[in-house]
Structure 1
Amino acid sequence: MPALKWGLIGASDIAATRVIGAIRSTGGETVGVFSGSAERAREFAASNGLAGATTDLDEILAWDIDAVYISSTNDKHFDQACHALRAGKHVLCEKPLALTADQAQAMVDLAEELGLVLAANHHLPGSPLHAKVRELVDAGAIGTVLSAKIAHAVLLPERLRGWRIGGGTPGSGVILDITCHDASVLNPLLGTPVAVSAVAVNQADWNTGGQDDAAMTVIRYERSGRPPVLAQTHDSFTVGFAGTSLEVHGTAGTIEVLDAMTQDTGGQVLLTTGAGRQSIDVDCSQDLYVIAVQAFTAAVDGTGVPTATGRDGLMALKVAVAAQESALSGRTVHLN
């Protein structure tokens, strides 16, 4: 695989704590960073050993780079990704790809038109835990799938309690931050999402940004020749003492994944059928962001596909946007 040269668009926490290390561990080079703040760009470059720092998006795109990783606030993803694609750069974009499905569709179309790789940085679909669940379901280990349930209620770290909880930033809130991650796991597992119902609230006394910090969602999935599937999610920034999990129930058994939805997960897959309950061996030693960067690099090389393609990111966004709309309107939202 090629050793890609990367530019960072956004001097973010996740870039510093996760993605720079993943790029370097796969043999890639992080050339420099763009930020809207000159001081932040300089400080970020210095603290992360980057040669370049700029506040000019055209400047970073003119550097000798093959790809960009976009981790700016959600409202900036669409314009920055399109700008990078038009400059001939492959794009790994943080979730959600955009704020609307139309924007995300335009990004996907542009990347395909230009023959460039566009991927969403959904880290969970590439997890060995979720790959094993898809493998078991496809093999018929639990018969016909009937329902699924995700518990993804966590406590948002204090250092991240900025734009994610509002304060006037478009695209904030728990649904675009967490529910879209759930959809990135459920969509390839269950089929086509066709309807979404959601309720969202503001619970935390520290949440002064005004945006919802907890939500529960029910999604209806359909797949040709099989019964509809119902999936339930609980997503939160406010729960500090619970584990995350995924359950998939079928006519012949149940799969449970413990410690399933976090970034650093040892995880455990349990299969229960008429023959009893067994633990399924899964090697979870590799970092999920390394997996994602490796898959992206292989896609650029033409020898693989991203763990979450642009189209995967689009479908996850559609579910999240529908959940937002449902929570606001009190009605079930039907997807085309």
Structure 2
Amino acid sequence: MSRASINWGVLGAAEIAREHTIPAILAAENSRAYALASRRGVPEERVEHFGSEIGYGDYDKLLADPLVDAVYLPLPNDLHAEWTIKAAHAGKHVLCEKPAALNAGQTAEAIAACAATGVLYMEAMMYQFHAQHARVRELVAAGAIGDLRGVQVNFTFNLEKSLSDFRHGTLETGGGSLYDLGCYCVHVIRSLLGEPDRVATVARFAGPNDAEMSAAAVLGYDNGAKAGFDCGMDAVARHVYEVYGTDGTIRVPKAFVPQVDGDGPIEIVDAEGHTTTEHVTSFQYPNGVAHFADCVLRTRAPDYTPENVLANMRVLDACIESVTTSRIVELEKH
């Protein structure tokens, strides 16, 4: 494209879109908040409030609009693959809210549809666009904590009383903490340790839909590295990860949830227990939106590739399989 910005269409007015992604589109210089669609209709005042130029009461009508270059999909999890494929067939580039789909098979189908129609695809795993995570990887590569031994991740918040939220649905419909939060935990572990060889997971089910409210997993590596995470919708807010090695620890206490001031502290603890804190200021949602828009404008692949998205889903599949079978699940090599 020879233009300086792309026109975004947003399918659905979910909370994540209202609070984070639409404001990010408005903030990104290479993005234009063009259209918003909701099946319940989009009142003119809502379109104006979110800075869009046009509102649709039907997703298909938005996809048929020739002025829409790319769509953001914040729909319920069980609709992600379906509408990614529909958007691809309409010739729209796709930024799909995580998780990409309900399993690796659906994810592969969605990615294949985008590849076949020549549109770009990226899962909206936006935390990774905060610069603190690149800094953590730099520190590890530089030997700041010696030889890397493992990663621990904690990501919880309390949604136990909000029974109407779709995340209280069954695993079959994309509900539960593994889909909502575990995908982040898996991603950060993979970004530091690579692909695990086996997974063991346990979970707590509760509520009228017997939803998976919380889970804990151990990821094993043939090279001896170890990782673990817990995620949940039934506990106090925690979003932290810790990377440990032979000579120290790196702790990221504000790992996933965007901070208004962009603050991303990194705590480096040496073998004697002395702590040094670095602060990295970055804004993950505007960065992620601007990155995807730049990829569209320059016709280049996103840094978070479809292959990486699919690999993340394979591990999440293994976690869910382990929960449902009460067994350790071995991952196939790809």
After superposition, the CA RMSD in angstroms is 2.5
| Identity between Structure 1 and Structure 2 (%) | 30
Distance 2:148 2:164 in 1: 37
User: Is the 8 Å Cα contact of residues 41 and 55 (structure 1) preserved in structure 2?
Assistant: no
Distance 2:16 2:194 in 1: 30
- The answer to whether the aligner puts 1:277 opposite 2:279 as a matched pair is no
Distance 2:300 2:161 in 1: 37
- The answer to whether the aligner puts 1:103 opposite 2:106 as a matched pair is yes
Q: What residue is the counterpart of 1:2 in the other structure?
A: 4
| Dislocated runs of 4+, deviation >4 Å | 40-44, 157-161
Deviation of 1:60 (Å) = 0.8
User: Is the 8 Å Cα contact of residues 123 and 307 (structure 1) preserved in structure 2?
Assistant: no
Q: What residue is the counterpart of 1:16 in the other structure?
A: 18
Q: What residue is the counterpart of 2:94 in the other structure?
A: 91
Q: What residue is the counterpart of 2:226 in the other structure?
A: 230
Distance 1:43 1:308 in 2: 35
Distance 2:103 2:171 in 1: 17
- Name the SS for the 1:193 alignment partner: coil
| Unaligned 5+ runs, structure 1 | none
- The answer to whether the aligner puts 1:61 opposite 2:63 as a matched pair is yes
Deviation readout 1:17-71 (Å, 9 max, x if unpaired)? 1111100111321222223333x67674354243322243332112201100000
Distance 1:53 1:197 in 2: 45
Deviation of 1:234 (Å) = 1.1
Deviation of 1:98 (Å) = 0.7
User: Is the 8 Å Cα contact of residues 123 and 263 (structure 1) preserved in structure 2?
Assistant: no
Q: What residue is the counterpart of 1:266 in the other structure?
A: 263
One-letter amino acid matched to 1:18: H
Q: What residue is the counterpart of 2:138 in the other structure?
A: 135
Which stretch shows the higher mean deviation, 62-71 or 252-261? 252-261
Q: 1:41 to 1:171 in 2, by over 3 A?
A: farther
| Unaligned 5+ runs, structure 2 | none
Matches within 5 A, 1:70-89: 70-89=73-92
User: Is the 8 Å Cα contact of residues 170 and 176 (structure 2) preserved in structure 1?
Assistant: no
- The answer to whether the aligner puts 1:186 opposite 2:182 as a matched pair is no
Distance 1:75 1:43 in 2: 29
Q: What residue is the counterpart of 1:249 in the other structure?
A: 244
Normalised to the residue count of structure 2, the TM-score between the two structures is 0.88
Which stretch shows the higher mean deviation, 172-181 or 49-58? 49-58
- Name the SS for the 2:191 alignment partner: helix
Distance 1:177 1:15 in 2: 15
Q: What residue is the counterpart of 2:321 in the other structure?
A: 325
Q: What residue is the counterpart of 2:27 in the other structure?
A: 25
Deviation of 1:7 (Å) = 0.5
Q: 1:41 to 1:97 in 2, by over 3 A?
A: farther
User: Is the 8 Å Cα contact of residues 187 and 315 (structure 1) preserved in structure 2?
Assistant: no
User: Is the 8 Å Cα contact of residues 126 and 307 (structure 1) preserved in structure 2?
Assistant: no
- Name the SS for the 1:143 alignment partner: coil
Deviation of 1:161 (Å) = 5.0
User: Is the 8 Å Cα contact of residues 92 and 121 (structure 1) preserved in structure 2?
Assistant: yes
One-letter amino acid matched to 2:120: V
Distance 1:51 1:328 in 2: 46
Distance 2:70 2:201 in 1: 36
Distance 1:126 1:307 in 2: 10
- Name the SS for the 2:196 alignment partner: strand
Distance 1:324 1:314 in 2: 15
User: Is the 8 Å Cα contact of residues 295 and 305 (structure 1) preserved in structure 2?
Assistant: no
Deviation of 1:319 (Å) = 1.9
One-letter amino acid matched to 1:85: A
- Name the SS for the 2:310 alignment partner: helix
Distance 2:70 2:309 in 1: 18
Deviation readout 1:66-101 (Å, 9 max, x if unpaired)? 100000001111111111112221110000111110
Q: 1:104 to 1:42 in 2, by over 3 A?
A: farther
